[in-house]
A and B are shown apart, each in its own frame.
Chain A
């Protein structure tokens, strides 16, 4: 396996893979890069099978499993709606984790020669990471598709249970090194790790999902790399290591964007809780919705009955520059096409339109970009927070669609809240701020948004899709 020719072939395949990833700078380049990476993986499979041909008695079953599953995967992913991408990615990640788990179990308990210490250690990691990412990803996928509650669930003694499970996993892993059949140790390790992954994942929710999903991505990569060590396959090790790096980077980017440590997100569950008074907030929202017109209406005496919708329409009509701020609420309301249609209308009328995207807006890294791209927004109009934050001060209208925490000025102005110190978009600096959120309740962090009380805020609470549609009708 280690002769020079084989090593050269492996290195060539790894280089194609890395070249593919390095094309991820522009969308056009990334399309090519994605194809290159797929090709590299195809070569890797072909080379592996050329070196170790399948037994003919096994080939039919393997080919059947491969073909049936590939067809199913292709059908699902060719059709799936883009709003369900986070859930699909989590599901696929879980499938990958389970595959790593099964491979390690079959490899270790099969009829082959007794595995050495290195293989046993690697198998222990592969089994536990594979099992934990499987259960963790499935929970994340269910949360992201709305099949189970998105908010964190904390069971009594959550931390103690996690500690106990880690210790039990370590004990089961130690049994793998004992002489004799390792099957029972492997199976106990798998079940303990499944429980660990589920418990780990269930307490992370809501706006912390981008961190969880990135972390799980890194964990599957790691499981694959260790699976590669078990079967002594360089290509698998390299692929797994690259994925682990990528997941780790994304995890850190997400943590930084929230100004929280990974530990805080994993162990802290959610910060201090949204106020239990969420029902009074709902009750008071009609009042609040009606309230803001007063100060602005005073400045326009000829229109005493101005409702927020007309005010918003007037502000938009007069705007020379508009910045749209999309958030997860836009995805929930499926309001992306209305958002883009409104922006497009104004653009036709000569308004300069830009989109400002916070790094943790949505439920996975880059979520908003994909939704807006699907709605046909030119990607050159999508700006990252640091590049556009200074521009709000010279902007006529900031249009917020389903975003709360990422525009909450309390992050900068108040100490001691769960979002204090988190970098936010300076929406409040714009001359007018139009808020198309569902209600006036705080975002996931539970911190009330003082932006809503500012005189330059025009509050259009309700379903964003309907709100934007009526705004468009008014502007026509």
Chain B
């Protein structure tokens, strides 16, 4: 039960803090913001990698490997492309 409570607190607090922080992001950074949060949403890579911490039969192994690959694509691609975009914003 206490686990559930902790999870609820984490969820609510993160949503609220995220809301406050992100409301202040200017419009010109909205695309990089979305691209970066997109990468953060692939934090499911944590869950995907943790699947390999327990015994898996072959079909489950394949699915877990697919999950790792998909999340990695999102996470690495997201941060890389965000960095590239932000590098283009210049002041003369």
A-B contact count (CB 8 A): 360
B39 touches A37 (CB 8 A): yes
With contact pairs A49-B49, A65-B66, A244-B15 given, residues A34 and B36 touching in the complex (Cβ less than 8 Å): yes
Stretch at the interface among A70-78, A139-147, A193-201: A70-78
A149 within 8 A of B: no
Q: Which of A38, A111, A228, A241 contacts B57 (CB 8 A)?
A: A111
A interface, over-half SS: helix
A364 in contact with B90 given A22-B21, A227-B47 (CB within 8 Å): no
Measured between alpha carbons, how far is A29 from B17 in the docked complex, in Å?
19
> Which residue of the partner chain B has the closest CB to A98?
B70
Residue of B nearest to A48 (CB): B46
With beta carbons under 8 angstroms apart, the residue of B34, B63, B90, B91 that contacts A246 is B34
Partner of A378 from the list B47, B83, B92 (CB cut-off 8 Å) is B92
Contacts of B47 in A (CB 8 A): 100, 103, 107, 227-228, 230-231, 233, 236
CB-contacts of B41-73 with A (<8 A): 41-57, 60-61, 63-73
Stretch at the interface among A53-61, A162-170, A294-302, A429-437: A53-61
Question: What distance in Å separates the Cβ of A301 from its nearest Cβ neighbour in chain B?
Answer: 42
Provide the residues of chain A in CB contact with B21, threshold 8 Å: 18, 21-22, 24
Q: Which residue of B lies closest to A358 (CB)?
A: B27
Does B66 lie within 8 Å of A102, measured CB to CB? Answer: yes
* B1 CB, min distance to chain A CBs, angstroms: 9
* Interface residues as binary, A207-230 with B (CB distance below 8 Å gives 1, 0 otherwise): 000000110010011011101111
Chain B interface residue bracket vs A:
35 or more
Q: Any chain B CB within 8 A of the CB of A374? A: yes
In the complex, the answer to whether A366 meets B29 with C-beta atoms within 8 Å is yes
Interface-facing stretch out of A86-94, A327-335, A442-450: A86-94
Interfacial residues, chain A to chain B (CB-CB below 8 A): 2, 14, 17-18, 21-22, 24-25, 27-28, 30-31, 33-35, 37-38, 41, 44-45, 48-49, 52-55, 58-59, 61-62, 64-66, 68-70, 72-74, 76-78, 80, 82, 85, 88-89, 92-93, 95-96, 98-100, 102-103, 105-107, 109-112, 118, 213-214, 217, 220-221, 223-225, 227-250, 253, 357, 359, 364-367, 369-370, 373-374, 376, 378-380, 382, 384
Specify which chain B residues have a CB less than 8 angstroms from the CB of A45 in the assembled complex: 45-46, 49
B81 engages A41 (CB within 8 Å):
no
**Least Cβ–Cβ distance between B87 and chain A, in angstroms:** 7
Q: Which residues of A lie under 8 Å from residue B14 when comparing CB positions?
A: 14, 237-239, 241-242, 245
- Contact assessment for B77 and A93 in the assembled complex, using a CB-CB cutoff below 8 Å: no
Contact assessment for A245 and B41 in the assembled complex, using a CB-CB cutoff below 8 Å: no
- B residues lining the A interface (CB < 8 Å): 2-4, 6-7, 10-19, 21-57, 60-61, 63-92
Inter-subunit contact B11/A241 (CB<8 Å): yes
* Closest partner residue, chain B, to A58 (CB atom): B52
B87 neighbours in A (Cβ, 8 Å): 31
Distance from A59 Cβ to chain B, minimum over Cβ atoms (Å): 7
Q: How many angstroms from the CA of A106 to the CA of B70 in the assembled complex?
A: 15
CB distance B15 to A241 under 8 Å? yes
